[in-house]
Amino acid sequence: MSELVTVGQAFQQGMREEMSRDETIFVLGTDLFLRGGHFAQVKGLGPEFGPERVIDAPISEAAMVAAGVGAAMNGMRPVVDLNFMDFAFGAMDEIANQAAKSRYLWGKPLPLVIRASSGIALYASQHNNSLEAWFMHTPGLIVVMPSNSADTKGILKSALRGQDPVVFFMHKRLTGARGEVGGPDDLVPIGQAAVARRGRNVTVITSGIVVQKALKAAEALASDGIEAEVIDLRTIFPLDLETIATSVRKTGRALVVTEEPPYASVASEVAASIQEDLFEYLDAPVRRLTAAHSPIPHAPGLMEALLPQVGTIVDAVTRSIERWPSSEG
Amino acid sequence: MSDTPTATEAAGLEEIELRGVPVDELEEWLEAMLVIREFEESLEPLTMSGNQIPGSVHQASGQEAVAVGAIRALDPGDLVASPHRPHHHALAKGLTPRVVMAELWGRATGCAGGRGGTMHLNDFALGYFGSNGIVGAPLGIAMGAALAAKLRKSGEVCVGFFGEGGANTGRSWEAINFAAVQQLPLIAFCENNQYAVETFIGRSAALDGSIAKRATGFGLPSVQVDGQDVCAVYRATREARERAARGEGPSFIEAVTYRYHGHNTGEIANYRTDEEVERWRLTRDPIERLRRALAKAGRLDSTRFDELAENAREVVEDAIRFADESPPPDPTTAANGVTALPFDRKGPSSL
């Protein structure tokens, strides 16, 4: 058993190994060289690789991503670190209109990783936007959202060996979560979901930090004799619909849980896909359990009231089974 | 020379000096400018016919000296990115009139296979990092390319063209600041044709004399030049290029120029007077000024000029014929190549 490392350390390990392997990789962002980023995600890499591989940038998100786009077009593999995903708003043209379209318009691969910490946590509305659906909606972007240390490191490696612009979501509240990680050549493929827990009565589809809540809910449901299968999407785009379908064909019931606002969300996309393709397998309507359609407030009690919780996941599954009992009985 | 004075000379054509330029190459510059002018002048009817070029395009007639003067000052391996009025840059960088014209027509033989059109031209092999539909964006791309050039020690110098309109968007100055602080081999090239669509620069920027002066606050050398003088543009760009090649970082150049036509083909311009346009044409036309200077120096007679002009017409006619005869792209490929990673492009329902 390998040493347990945090998600932040897993990212840093992945960066170190890949930067050692490939000289064209560099990381660009604010407060990276000395501080190692706001989440210690590249801590120590500055002194180790020097200021040309760990580049401190002015707080100019548009310029940071533009630098990544132009450098990727000119033979490099940049990692642009925006610290908080919310700051991507300041670089939306560079991400959605430049990076995303290079391959389609010009046949020019754009191997760029845009990393940022995301998800719902402290500091209220302007630091707690859920942009995963925005990027999923943008043709040309890959969107990943690992839920643990091993996937963070392994997916980063795949991103740094791929040919696409990858938006890399790391949940703020997972930064310190510990887990095992793979070695230098253990890649986690992009576009493959993982089955985090096996079960036969209901499929709970989720990603990122919500995987932990879903697993706890599955534990609680198991004590009532309900076996929930938990799918960790890991990649938001391209969605692994095959893994979802395999599970839903077995369980006949699906609940999609995310902490984003509900309209035009990742949850909506997954739910629509299931009903469109697997209607005949379903015993019940596909349910979405998301955050409220609301900005995120500061007071912890207000914030938590908006989010899916272990209890609400359990309730949603229980109510579904009560109202739409399984056809096989 | 005993050539009869032309209308422009009679109207007081302002002279240019042939100093600080490779004089033996000036005839080629004139030829390139004539091809650009001919190319741009051909576009209005092609966009208005309804069955040739889809949509309108942005012509650069009048701005030829900016593209040719700047790009001839670069080394062939240097990189250029340009904004929504890009044909003169693309042609000066070496894209053929055929592949640019075919791209405007949306044909498979175009430089972007018909996917891009006027605002998404490209040829990375020629160092042309695309035209761009977003104001200020190509400067950012050139800046990023310059960062790569610095990191890879490739020796490339990168030019990001933008207009005076682009000098009013924040991303331009973000890129310039980044380039200045990182000492990147970048030339931020502001092509000031004085009108952003219909808005005169005097109505959109409270300038203290020039855009170039605004740039000095960002800590990089900055100069304003006469954009209708191909030699002046060349000299300023050459100096900036040499500075970048020495590792001394970026430069800002503002070239004051003028577009003879509207913002886009089909536009009825009621925001400036015919007299103003006529004055620029008669006194500062970049082709006439170079022609006159070459003639005065005994390097060009009217026969040779007529040959060059006739050749330009033939080249553009050939490009139009090429585009017209080229096939459209295959509709079954319309969603190909969005990402390298596969996905179910037909949508989830194909499961």
- Of the candidates B134, B149, B181, the beta carbon closest to that of A74 is on B149
Q: Which domain holds residue B226?
A: 23-320
Looking at the structure, tell me whether residues A60 and A199 fall in a common domain.
Answer: no
In this predicted structure, what is the pLDDT of residue B208?
Answer: 84
pLDDT at A58 over 50: yes
The answer to whether position B189 is within a domain reads: yes
Contacts of A57 in chain B (CB under 8 A): 178
- CB contact under 8 Å between A108 and B124, yes or no, is yes
Looking at the structure, tell me whether residues A20 and A151 fall in a common domain.
Answer: yes
Taking only the tens place, the pLDDT of each residue in B150-193 is: 999 999 999 999 999 999 999 999 999 999 999 999 999 999 99
The answer to whether position B264 is within a domain reads: yes
Looking at the structure, tell me whether residues A171 and A301 fall in a common domain.
Answer: no
The answer to whether position A184 is within a domain reads: no
Taking only the tens place, the pLDDT of each residue in A123-150 is: 999 999 999 999 999 999 999 999 999 9
* Angle subtended at Cα A261 by Cα A260 and Cα A263, rounded to the nearest 5 degrees: 125
The answer to whether position B11 is within a domain reads: no
Domain count for chain B = 1
The answer to whether position B338 is within a domain reads: no
Looking at the structure, tell me whether residues A152 and A286 fall in a common domain.
Answer: no
In this predicted structure, what is the pLDDT of residue B12?
Answer: 87
Looking at the structure, tell me whether residues A175 and A244 fall in a common domain.
Answer: no
Taking only the tens place, the pLDDT of each residue in B268-298 is: 889 999 999 999 999 999 999 999 999 999 9
Looking at the structure, tell me whether residues A90 and A212 fall in a common domain.
Answer: no
The answer to whether position A186 is within a domain reads: no
In this predicted structure, what is the pLDDT of residue A327?
Answer: 73
The answer to whether position A52 is within a domain reads: yes
The answer to whether position A188 is within a domain reads: no
Q: Which of A179, A213, A239 represents a domain boundary (last residue)? A: A179
The answer to whether position B5 is within a domain reads: no
Q: Best of A33, A73, A205 to disrupt the B interface by mutation (most B CBs within 10 Å)?
A: A73
In this predicted structure, what is the pLDDT of residue B269?
Answer: 86
> Cis ω on the peptide bond leading into residue A295 (within 30° of 0)?
no
Looking at the structure, tell me whether residues A72 and A212 fall in a common domain.
Answer: no
Domain at B190, CATH number? 3.40.50.970
ipTM: 0.95
Q: Which domain holds residue A127?
A: 5-179
The answer to whether position B345 is within a domain reads: no
List Cβ neighbours of A178 (8 Å cut-off, separation of 6 or more).
A4, A5, A6, A149
Taking only the tens place, the pLDDT of each residue in A277-309 is: 899 999 999 999 999 999 999 999 999 999 999
In this predicted structure, what is the pLDDT of residue A139?
Answer: 96
Q: Distances in Å between the alpha carbon of A119 and those of A88, A267, B74?
A: 14, 15, 47
Domain at A277, CATH number? 3.40.50.920
- CB contact under 8 Å between B341 and A97, yes or no, is no
Global confidence as pTM: 0.95
Taking only the tens place, the pLDDT of each residue in A176-208 is: 999 999 999 999 999 999 999 999 999 999 999
The answer to whether position A175 is within a domain reads: yes
Domain at A39, CATH number? 3.40.50.970
Looking at the structure, tell me whether residues A29 and A101 fall in a common domain.
Answer: yes
List Cβ neighbours of A198 (8 Å cut-off, separation of 6 or more).
A227, A229
pLDDT at A329 over 50: no
The answer to whether position A129 is within a domain reads: yes
Greatest Cα pair distance, chain A, in angstroms, is 64
* A216 pLDDT tier (thresholds 50, 70, 90): very high
Average pLDDT, chain B: 94
Q: Which of A179, A208, A241 represents a domain boundary (last residue)? A: A179
Domain count for chain A = 2
Listed by number, the residues of chain B in 90-109 with a beta carbon closer than 8 Å to a beta carbon of chain A are none
- Of the candidates A75, A107, A237, the beta carbon closest to that of B337 is on A107
What phi and psi, each to the nearest 5 degrees, are found at residue B71? -75, -30
The answer to whether position B343 is within a domain reads: no
Taking only the tens place, the pLDDT of each residue in B301-310 is: 999 999 999 9
A42-62 average pLDDT score: 97
Contacts of A245 in chain B (CB under 8 A): 351
Looking at the structure, tell me whether residues A165 and A32 fall in a common domain.
Answer: yes
pLDDT at B17 over 70: yes
Q: Which of A122, A152, A179 represents a domain boundary (last residue)? A: A179
The answer to whether position A299 is within a domain reads: yes
Looking at the structure, tell me whether residues A138 and A223 fall in a common domain.
Answer: no
* B1 pLDDT tier (thresholds 50, 70, 90): very low
- Of the candidates B140, B170, B348, the beta carbon closest to that of A94 is on B140
Q: Does B252 touch chain A (CB under 8 A)?
A: no
List Cβ neighbours of A15 (8 Å cut-off, separation of 6 or more).
A25, A27, A41, A42, A45, A79, A156
Looking at the structure, tell me whether residues A143 and A279 fall in a common domain.
Answer: no
Looking at the structure, tell me whether residues A10 and A156 fall in a common domain.
Answer: yes
**Which one-letter DSSP state was computed for residue B332?**
G
pLDDT at B140 over 60: yes
